[in-house]
């Protein structure tokens, strides 16, 4: 088999550049995410140093990166405590929907879009980026903070809402009938409810099936299962991120501890590729014309996401500083908003550039504002190997 020299060279240069940027960011105690995004912008189509040979690898690696980020995030929590948090935060989900979908819908009306365009823009402003936020919580060492369960509850309910939203949007964008959209919604709802029920009822058996003393076997088993579950979730228009997160929640005790250890280097590699891919998907030429409208929309939805996070954290009786940290953590938009552009962008000339510019602004600004919200000592969590694996 012939070695693809261009691919190896471009990937080598990209990884070396990301290493330099990551070192620079951590020297100033910042998250490297904004620098990775800017690097992607520089090497994408229309950038200063395009990498055509590495494009397919980056696209595939980005999908794996989101899955690994949510898998390892799920490993930090037990299924029981998360289920309790989800029930408590149904009002938070409703506040999130109203506050953050409304600005997109209003902007769509003002821009003269039709019903599909308005629905698409509302979804793009509503949904936060699970991938970016998962990495931020890890980088800033806030996984043990009191506000973090509230943030995760909001994120997971957003991803579940996408299971209802995306089939409807896809059918309407293609000119399909209402009953086709409803069938897609019913299939997605059934799949999500089944996944939660199976995880809650039989998830404690999963660790026994996966556990193995050899690190290589453990890695292969966990990663293989997670990718299968993520693929099934995507197949029914649910989120691969939710599927991966559920797998992480079901692993407990020593299995969870060892899984974190073997997956951490792989997660860091593909997470960096994921952030690179967001920048890579943006053509700098598209940014400037849409910049004024995107900045205005971003300014409004920064405020609405902060209000959402503050409300959710307040329901968990978190202090004001923690409420602010929760709000800023939810600001970043990313992968789902770009999926929406892929579904509808061809129908509206202004939608694609606007949403892409909007996503890029908040993917850059979100991590910075989250960092400026201030560090706080993490609330000690029980040692991972003593978590209760019962359901």
Reply yes or no on domain 31-374 having CATH 1.20.1530.20. Answer: yes
Domain ranges, ordered by start, for the chain: 31-374
Q: What is the share, in percent, of the chain residues with pLDDT greater than 70?
A: 88
Give the DSSP letter string of 63-108: HHHHHHHHHHHHTTS-HHHHHHHHHHTHHHHHHHHHHHHHHHHHHH
User: What HEC string does 171-218 produce?
Assistant: HHHCCCCHHHHHHHHHHHHHHHHHHHHHHHHHHHHHHHHHCCCCHHHH
Question: What digits encode the pLDDT tens for the residues 173-217?
Answer: 877 666 666 776 777 677 667 767 776 677 667 777 888 889 999
Please say whether the beta carbons of 145 and 376 come within 8 A. Answer: yes
pLDDT at 391: 38
**Per-residue pLDDT of the chain in tens (391 residues, 90 and over written 9):** 566 888 899 999 999 999 999 999 888 777 888 899 889 888 887 777 888 888 889 989 999 998 998 898 888 877 777 777 778 899 999 999 999 999 999 999 999 999 999 999 999 999 999 889 998 998 888 988 999 999 999 998 898 888 778 878 887 887 766 666 677 677 767 766 776 777 667 766 777 788 888 999 999 999 999 999 888 888 766 678 778 888 888 887 888 889 999 999 999 999 999 989 888 877 788 788 899 999 999 999 999 999 999 999 999 999 999 999 999 999 999 888 888 888 886 677 788 889 989 998 999 999 999 999 876 444 444 444 444 444 3
């Amino acid at each position: 088999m012939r070695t693809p020299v261009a691919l190896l060279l471009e990937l080598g240069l990209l990884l070396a550049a990301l290493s330099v940027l990551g070192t620079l960011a951590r020297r100033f105690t910042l998250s490297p995410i904004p620098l990775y995004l800017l690097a992607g912008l520089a090497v994408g189509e229309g950038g200063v140093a395009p990498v055509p040979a590495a494009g397919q690898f980056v696209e595939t690696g980005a999908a794996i990166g989101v899955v690994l980020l949510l898998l390892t995030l799920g490993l930090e929590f037990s299924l029981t405590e998360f289920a309790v948090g989800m029930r408590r935060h149904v009002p938070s989900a409703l506040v999130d929907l109203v506050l953050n979908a409304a600005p997109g819908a209003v902007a769509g009306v003002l821009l003269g879009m039709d019903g599909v365009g308005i629905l698409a823009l509302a979804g793009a402003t509503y949904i936060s980026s699970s991938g970016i936020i998962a990495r931020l919580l890890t980088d800033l060492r806030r996984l043990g903070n009191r506000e973090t369960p509230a943030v995760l509850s909001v994120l997971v309910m957003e991803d579940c809402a996408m299971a209802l939203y995306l089939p409807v949007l896809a059918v309407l964008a293609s000119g399909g009938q209402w009953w086709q959209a409803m069938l897609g919604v019913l299939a997605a709802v059934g799949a999500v409810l089944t996944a939660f029920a199976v995880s809650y009822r039989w998830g404690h058996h999963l660790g026994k099936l996966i556990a193995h003393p050899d690190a290589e076997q453990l890695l292969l088993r966990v990663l293989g299962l997670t990718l299968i579950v993520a693929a099934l979730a995507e197949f029914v228009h649910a989120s691969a991120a939710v599927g991966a997160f559920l797998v992480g929640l079901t692993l407990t005790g020593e299995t969870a501890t060892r899984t974190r250890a073997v997956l951490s280097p792989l997660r860091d590699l593909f997470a960096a590729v994921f952030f690179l891919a967001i920048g890579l998907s943006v053509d700098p030429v598209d940014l400037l014309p849409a910049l004024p409208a995107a900045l205005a929309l971003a300014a409004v939805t920064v405020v609405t996401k902060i209000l959402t996070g503050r409300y959710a954290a307040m329901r968990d009786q978190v202090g004001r500083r923690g409420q602010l940290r929760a709000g800023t953590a939810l600001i970043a938009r990313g992968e789902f908003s770009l999926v929406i552009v892929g579904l509808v962008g061809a129908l509206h000339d202004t939608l694609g550039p606007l949403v892409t510019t909007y996503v890029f602004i908040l993917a850059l600004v979100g991590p910075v504002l989250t960092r400026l919200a201030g560090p706080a000592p993490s609330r000690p969590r029980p040692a991972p190997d003593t978590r209760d694996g019962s359901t």
